[in-house]
Copies of this chain bind each other. A is one copy, B any other.
């Protein structure tokens, strides 16, 4: 029976992820319930607020991304390179799980738990990477990790609306701008 419940949870999370990607994180609950093959009541039982569901949906991905930070830092001699590669993973997270970027930028009161979880896990990672790069004198200091996360998150919005818009390129420019020596 536990296995059943497990299976159901996964079906729900998969359905929610799909719907969030297709219709945004404000998609009707009924739509998710329908795709998951269950009643809306079941969803409300497990995830009383929409934010709870969103957190659950993005939990794994955020976790993986968080864990990649220290690993990348250990794997290379250049903290800046590690930072760069980590932002790539972060962007993957945001553009693959369409809906996450939207949820993160959304009116802060809604999705507050998602914000909290997101920052709780990723802010230390970004801090570590930035600090390491600054200590190695590869970048100028003074950029708040929060600003970096949020900036990258914002740049990922609408990533597939128009071929002229390539968030990775802009992010690369942003990181380039961090490098020393600063050009006037």
A residues bordering B, Cβ < 8 Å?
A: 24, 105, 107-108, 143-144, 146-148, 150-151, 154-158, 161-162, 164-167, 169-170, 172-179, 182-183
Contact = CB atoms under 8 A, between A and B. Distances in A.
Contact of A154 (B155, B179, B182): B155
Contacts of A154: 154-158
A147 B169 contact: yes
A174 to B, nearest CB: 5
Contact of A146 (B164, B177, B179): B164
B143 A107 contact: no
Contacts of A179: 183
Question: How many monomers of this chain does the complex have?
Answer: 4
A171 to B, nearest CB: 9
Residue of A155, A158, A167, A173 most packed against chain B (CB within 10 A): A173
A148 B155 CA distance: 10
Contacts of A172: 177
Contacts of A174: 170, 173-174, 177
Nearest to A172: B177
16 contacts: A105-B157, A108-B158, A144-B164, A146-B162, A146-B165, A147-B164, A151-B167, A151-B170, A155-B155, A157-B157, A173-B177, A173-B178, A174-B174, A176-B176, A176-B177, A177-B177
Contact of A150 (B108, B165, B175): B165
Contacts of A182: 176
Residue of A151, A172, A175 most packed against chain B (CB within 10 A): A151
Nearest to A149: B165
A25 to B, nearest CB: 12
Nearest to A145: B164
